[in-house]
Amino acid sequence: MVMQKSFLVLAVHMLFACYVPMVSLLHKRNHILSAVGRAFKEDENDRWN
């Protein structure tokens, strides 16, 4: 029973260890994409004006 519980805790820790970096990477990618998109839109606006 104790072994099972510690294994469960370990599994949860592993999940979080994989989940947190992926989420932060996704957030960073979204920020980069939105920043690039914004810069591109501004560039387009400058070209048309």
Kindly report, residue by residue over 4-15, the tens digit of the pLDDT: 899 999 999 999
Is 11 domain-assigned?
no
Is 14 domain-assigned?
no
Is 44 domain-assigned?
yes
What is the span of the domain harbouring residue 42?
A: 20-49
Is 1 domain-assigned?
no
Is 34 domain-assigned?
yes
Is 15 domain-assigned?
no
Tell me the pTM.
0.45
Query: Count of domains in the chain?
Result: 1
- Distances in Å between the Cα of 13 and the Cα atoms of 19, 24, 36, 39 are 10, 17, 35, 39
- Distances in Å between the Cα of 43 and the Cα atoms of 17, 26, 29, 34 are 40, 25, 21, 14
User: What number is the average pLDDT over the span 37-46?
Assistant: 80
Q: What is the dihedral of CA 16, 21, 27, 28, to 10 degrees?
A: 170
Is 3 domain-assigned?
no
